[in-house]
Amino acid sequence: MVRGLYIAAQGMLTEMVRQEQIANDLANASTPGYKADRSAQSRFGEILLTNSRSGRPVGPLGLGVRIDEVRTDFTPAPLRETGRPLDFAIQGEGFFAVRTPNGVRYTRNGQFMSTADGLLVDQLGNPVLGPGGQPVRLRRDGLVRPGDIGVFALAGAAKEGDSLVTGQATGGAPGRVRAGALEQPGTDPARAMVEMIASFRALEGSQKAIHTIDETLAKFAGQVGAVS
């Protein structure tokens, strides 16, 4: 019975991780180029229960679930026209590169702006890099041509925060830069809300199981122990 407490508690911890992930997806439902996370669950395994008196098998008992892996879905999302000359989107595979204080990072969020000296930067002020790794500058007409911006293929891509990605650049990517557009977020708010409700129900079920086991243990200690 005490084992049941640990199984239910592990189920609650797993659902809390899922809820945090789903809440982050909902919070970024309007962030251009955002990529949603998907968590995969796995079981700890099972044990075979037997009758302690006769030794006959009673049946298997699962040992709970855990978050086995959190994967980011980097599938390109549809593009949305904005008309802003410094908005850029990648049609197809690839990432923009920006130079941050922690080194070069990559992103699908092309909502860029310019500095006073004509440097193209992202929303955090990080310079956007061209195909050769050099910072991109606005031309004399105050615009940036799509070909001025680098599109890189990545190996071992992993999210860092909500918009940035780490990884090893392996050269140019086949994706094409499109001006005046942004990539839509890779999350579906309706689906995320359904997943949040399902996760909450699972969390609630584990909570009730812990409450029931706790009451049973209290009766066992208070009533069974009092029998002479």
Q: Could you tell me the mean pLDDT of each successive run of 10 residues in the chain, 228 residues long?
A: 72 83 90 87 58 67 66 92 96 96 96 95 95 94 94 94 92 94 92 88 85 78 63
Helix, strand, or coil (residue 154): strand
Two tokens at 137? 């500058």
Nearest to 182 by CA among 87, 103, 71: 87
pLDDT given for residue 202 in this prediction: 85
d(CA 208, CA 106): 44
Strand partners, 172: 152
d(CA 190, CA 37): 15
pLDDT given for residue 70 in this prediction: 78
Measured between alpha carbons, how far apart are the two ends of the chain, in Å?
23
Helix, strand, or coil (residue 180): coil
pLDDT given for residue 31 in this prediction: 92
**Which sequence spans correspond to the domains of the chain?**
2-72+188-226, 79-183
pLDDT given for residue 81 in this prediction: 96
